[in-house]
Amino acid sequence: MSCPHAAARSGRAESLLTLRAHPLRVALVGNPNVGKSVVFGRLTGRYATVSNYPGTTVAITRGRALVAGEVCDIIDTPGVNTLEGSLTEDEQITRRLVANGEADVVVQVVDARNLRRALVLTAQIAALGKPMVLALNMIDEARAYGVDVDAARLAEELGVPVVEMVATEGRGLPELRESLARAAVAEIAEHHREDLARWAHKLSERLRRVSAISLAQMQEAIARAVRQPVTGLPILAIVLYTVYLFVGVFGAQTLVGWMEEDLFGRLLNPAAIAAANQFIPFALVRDFLVGQYGLITMGLTYAIAIVLPVVTTFFLIFGFLEDSGYIPRLAIFSDRIFRAMGLNGKAVLPMVLGLGCDTMATMTTRVLGTSKERLIAIVLLALGIPCSAQLATIMGILGGISFTALLTLFGVVLVQMFVVGFMAARVLPGDRSEFIMELPPIRVPRLANLVTKTRLRVQWYLGEAVPLFLVGTALLFVLDRTGVLRLIVRAGRPIVTGMLGLPGEAAQVFVMGFLRRDYGAAGLFRLAESGQLTGVQSVVALTVMTLFVPCVANFLMIVRERGTRTGLAILGFITPVALLTGTALNYVLAAFRVTF
């Protein structure tokens, strides 16, 4: 690995690491998908806090790092495409953080394969007068593509330290730490500012050596294939079917069957019931722990035996698609469809993430450029995107019935989403933003990174979702004991049994679904497993559950993002849409005597 390079610079101040009233504040800045978060993790280790930037909903990650014996504050900023002109909220926050003196040094993390785009951002940082270091990341992938950047000449041209890095392996990290003391303001002539794109192009052409190799050609061919309709549609079908096999069959059927029936059904739950009967004399406490709505027999069983295997398999395959570079290309492929709904291809990111958790996905709608786009995306997420637990239930139940049942549900949901999005695009005021997206290379994901990413996401599920399962179970226990649950179920039973043609027990499942979508999904799983739902009823029930009101956590996130009035309006719109769609589907299937 090359050592960092820096041009001689007269009159350079004393080391930035000495004689300071506070720890050196280092901001990591860069375009999206350049590895900033990996660099942040390598510098800070495990110490990190995530909080919103004051007065905004944009999350900023902060941590501590030891540099040359001194403690430094490291700030991981959102990925940005520009710091000038019309800026998104993320870009505004990054510019404000750099320009207002909240950072002493800027480390610009650069994708070595795309130097030209990075240099435009370099010039904009330099215009803010902030000392900086250039971290030339992904050197290994650039060379695999036949791209070699002359780091020494780049340092001479800019007048700042330039460090070659492979952040995923920790290569270049000592050099980066050492270079912070020599950070300097980039020497970019003022006349270049008139046409940054031309300057960046000419400079990158002088400093890059490109040689065509078979690996790069093969990766580029795959990258083109997934974006073209003729080849992209078959590839998408293969991807979706693979997800179905891995999550719906292996996760929702094989793993769930083993954990629910063998581990919990034959070992853990009987042991817990026996222990409670022996050591707990109070019937109320026993029921609270191991009864129908017991923390162990229901809460932990649902959370660990039914949902965890599906969440884990989904996170694994989602991480694979994410790291392979397929999802950004899916955004380009689906741009035309989203345009009809007042969105652009970027909307595929929160939509795909919503398959994991709609609450998290609602937060990521901030990547969309306008308020109108964010509102439409939030409505569509709440209306039709099933979270991983729901997706598992859909695949677990309908996958065992027929592939036609699956196609019917997804067809109805997609048509409903398209109609609602199409109408919202024409009713709501506002414009659609331009579609600009950085495309990472097509690559084979690193197994270690995939395992780490999945482990962290599963830890998030265990830390955030499992406690909510237990709280939901306790709430159901209280509602059941006080008789409130029976009143709610009784009030909803005429709609459920009459309009939707479902058994009365489904009313209770929909109530549970509002407390937690995965709770309702698990409830439907139990109804289908016990033979209380026919094939047609399963399709109707799962369609309504998918279109039904978001869970409490997602509703609160909508309120946080858009306000109470908008949140209630979305809730008031989605509920009748879900019920009327389920009613229409029930009557159509009955009229044509469809069986699954």
Cβ atoms 24, 70 nearer than 8 A:
yes
Cβ atoms 49, 61 nearer than 8 A:
yes
Cβ atoms 387, 358 nearer than 8 A:
yes
Give residue 10's pLDDT band: very low, low, confident or very high (50, 70, 90).
very low
| CA 471 to chain CA mean position, Å | 25
pLDDT value at residue 47: 53
Q: Which H or E element spans position 108?
A: strand 105-111
Give the residue-averaged pLDDT of 255-283: 91
Cβ atoms 219, 441 nearer than 8 A:
yes
For residue 474, what are its two tokens?
């306790």
Least confident range of 129-133, 189-193, 444-448, 527-531: 189-193
Is 156 within the bounds of a domain? Answer: yes
Phi, psi angles (nearest 5°) of residue 380: -65, -35
What amino acid occupies position 498? G
Q: What is the pLDDT of residues 567-589, one digit of tens each?
A: 999 999 999 999 999 999 999 99
Percent of the chain at pLDDT exceeding 90: 29
Is pLDDT of 265 > 70? yes
Is 521 within the bounds of a domain? Answer: yes
CA-nearest of 545, 483, 478 to 516 is 545
Is pLDDT of 273 > 90? yes
- Here the CATH number for the domain that contains residue 124 is 3.40.50.300
Give residue 293's pLDDT band: very low, low, confident or very high (50, 70, 90).
confident
DSSP one-letter string for 161-216: -EEE-BGGGTBTHHHHHHHGGG-B-----GGGGGGHHHHHHHHHHHHEEE---HHH
Structural domains of the chain, count: 2
Is pLDDT of 14 > 50? no
Cβ atoms 89, 56 nearer than 8 A:
yes
pLDDT value at residue 560: 79
Give residue 39's pLDDT band: very low, low, confident or very high (50, 70, 90).
very high
Give the residue-averaged pLDDT of 99-127: 90
**229-243 vs 308-324: helix axis angle to the nearest 10?**
150
pLDDT value at residue 125: 92
Phi, psi angles (nearest 5°) of residue 164: -85, 135
CA angle 276, 279, 283 (to 5 degrees): 60
pLDDT value at residue 504: 85
Determine the Cα–Cα distance for residues 580 and 342; give it in Å rounded to an integer. Answer: 24
**Model pTM greater than 0.75?**
no
Cβ atoms 467, 452 nearer than 8 A:
no
Is 15 within the bounds of a domain? Answer: no
Is pLDDT of 212 > 70? no
Give the residue-averaged pLDDT of 224-233: 82
Give residue 173's pLDDT band: very low, low, confident or very high (50, 70, 90).
very high
Give residue 2's pLDDT band: very low, low, confident or very high (50, 70, 90).
very low
Is 224 within the bounds of a domain? Answer: no
pLDDT value at residue 310: 76
CA-nearest of 332, 362, 361 to 346 is 332
* Residues 189 and 291 occupy one common structural domain: no
pLDDT value at residue 48: 56
pLDDT value at residue 192: 62
Determine the Cα–Cα distance for residues 149 and 138; give it in Å rounded to an integer. Answer: 11
Give the residue-averaged pLDDT of 222-246: 82
* Residues 240 and 207 occupy one common structural domain: no
Least confident range of 114-123, 211-220, 308-317, 346-355: 211-220
Least confident range of 4-13, 72-81, 579-588: 4-13
**388-398 vs 308-324: helix axis angle to the nearest 10?**
110
| Last residue of one domain, picked from the residues 183, 211, 239 | 211
Least confident range of 150-154, 161-165, 226-230: 226-230
Determine the Cα–Cα distance for residues 424 and 118; give it in Å rounded to an integer. Answer: 37
Alpha-carbon separation of residue 269 from 110, 261, 299, 408, 461 (angstroms)? 53, 10, 11, 36, 22
* Residues 499 and 437 occupy one common structural domain: yes
* Residues 406 and 441 occupy one common structural domain: yes
Is pLDDT of 506 > 60? yes
Is pLDDT of 13 > 60? no
Is 596 within the bounds of a domain? Answer: no
* Residues 193 and 260 occupy one common structural domain: no
* Residues 243 and 140 occupy one common structural domain: no
Give residue 215's pLDDT band: very low, low, confident or very high (50, 70, 90).
low
For residue 596, what are its two tokens?
């699954």
pLDDT value at residue 69: 75
* Residues 126 and 246 occupy one common structural domain: no
Is 237 within the bounds of a domain? Answer: yes
Least confident range of 188-202, 293-307, 539-553: 188-202
Q: What is the pLDDT of residues 82-108, one digit of tens each?
A: 888 778 788 888 999 998 888 999 999
HSE (CB half, 13 Å, CA atoms) of 2?
20
- Range of the structural domain that residue 39 is part of: 24-211
pLDDT value at residue 440: 73
* Residues 425 and 488 occupy one common structural domain: yes
* Residues 53 and 85 occupy one common structural domain: yes
Q: What rounded mean pLDDT belongs to the chain?
A: 83
What amino acid occupies position 175? E
pLDDT value at residue 587: 94
| Last residue of one domain, picked from the residues 162, 178, 211 | 211
CA-nearest of 305, 277, 307 to 291 is 277
| Last residue of one domain, picked from the residues 211, 245, 262 | 211
Is pLDDT of 507 > 90? no
| Exposure string for 79-105, b = 16+ CB within 10 A, e = fewer | bbbbbeeebbbbbbbbbbbbeeeebbb
Is 334 within the bounds of a domain? Answer: yes
Give residue 65's pLDDT band: very low, low, confident or very high (50, 70, 90).
confident
Give the residue-averaged pLDDT of 387-411: 82
* Residues 260 and 383 occupy one common structural domain: yes
**Count of CB atoms situated within 10 Å of the CB of 355:** 18
* Residues 61 and 149 occupy one common structural domain: yes
pLDDT value at residue 584: 95
Is pLDDT of 81 > 90? no
Is 221 within the bounds of a domain? Answer: no
- DSSP, collapsed to helix, strand or coil, labels residue 291 as coil
pLDDT value at residue 209: 77
Is pLDDT of 157 > 50? yes
* Residues 460 and 487 occupy one common structural domain: yes
